[in-house]
Amino acid sequence: MDTELSPKAAEIVDRTRALLALGGYNGFSYADIASAVGISKPSIHHHFPSKALLVQSVLQRYRAEARAGLAMLEQRMPDPLAQLQAYTGYWAQCIRDGSAPFCICAMLAAELPAIPADVAAEVRAHFRDLGAWLAAALGRAVAQHGIRLQGSPEAEAQAFMATVHGAMLSARASGDPELFAVIVGPLMQRLATR
C-alpha cells in the first residue's frame, strides 16, 4: 500500500493512525491533521476527499501490516506458544514505550454503531483476520504441545483477543502500562501449563 500513497498522503495516514489510537474516529479533525502535517485542510481533501476514506486507508494499511507481522512470527518461530507470547509481548512493549498505546481497531470497535459502514467493515475484517490467526496458533499448540483448551480454538481465540484488548483498556484507564503484562501473563501461563 505504501507504493500507492504519495509521501504527503503517507504522512497524513501516519498522523491519522496516531490520532485514532489516542481518541478514536471522532477524536480528531482534518484541522488536527493539517496542523500536525503542516498543510491546509483542502490539501488533505485532495488526498482523501472524506474522513471515512482517510480512516479506511489507515485501516487497510494497518491490517496489511498486522497480517505481515503475524506471518513473520510464524516464519521466525515455529512454536505456536512462542508466537502467542511474541504477539502479547509486542503489545506490552508498544504500550510501555507509547509507540502504539492501543490497537486502533479495538478503539474503533467501541465506536462501531457511530462510524461509517466502510470503516466498520475494515474493523470487523481485522478482528476476523486476528481471530483466524489466533485460532490457528491455538490449534497448532494443541497438536504440538498437547495443551487442552476449554473450548474450540475459535472460541479460545475470541477469549484471547478479549483478554488482550481488555488489558489494553485497563492499562490505559489506570495509567499503568505494566498492568497489560500483569493481566495477560496469567493467560499465557494457563496456555503453557495445560
DSSP string, 70-83: HHHHHHH---HHHH
pLDDT tens track for 137-151: 999 999 999 999 999
pLDDT cut 90: percent of the chain above it: 92
Residues 160, 138 contacting (CB under 8 angstroms): yes
User: Is a pLDDT exceeding 90 seen at residue 194?
Assistant: no
pTM of the model: 0.93
Cα dist from 132 to 40, 59, 141, 153, whole Å:
41, 18, 14, 9
What is the separation of C-alpha 114 from the centre of its chain, rounded to a whole number of angstroms? 19
Set of cell numbers at residue 48: 482523501
Closest by alpha carbon to 130, among 59, 37, 24? Answer: 59
Q: What is the mean pLDDT of residues 13-28?
A: 94
Q: Identify the band that residue 1 occupies on the pLDDT scale cut at 50, 70 and 90.
A: very low
Question: How far is residue 86's CA from residue 93's CA, in Å, rounded to a whole number?
Answer: 10
CATH topology of domain 2-193: Tetracycline Repressor; domain 2 (1.10.357)
Domain regions of the chain by residue span: 2-193
Q: What is the pLDDT of residue 2?
A: 43
Closest by alpha carbon to 122, among 103, 105, 106? Answer: 105
Closest by alpha carbon to 95, among 165, 28, 143? Answer: 165
Question: How far is residue 5's CA from residue 53's CA, in Å, rounded to a whole number?
Answer: 13
pLDDT tens track for 92-130: 999 999 998 899 999 999 999 999 999 999 999 999 999
Cα dist from 59 to 36, 103, 157, whole Å:
20, 11, 21
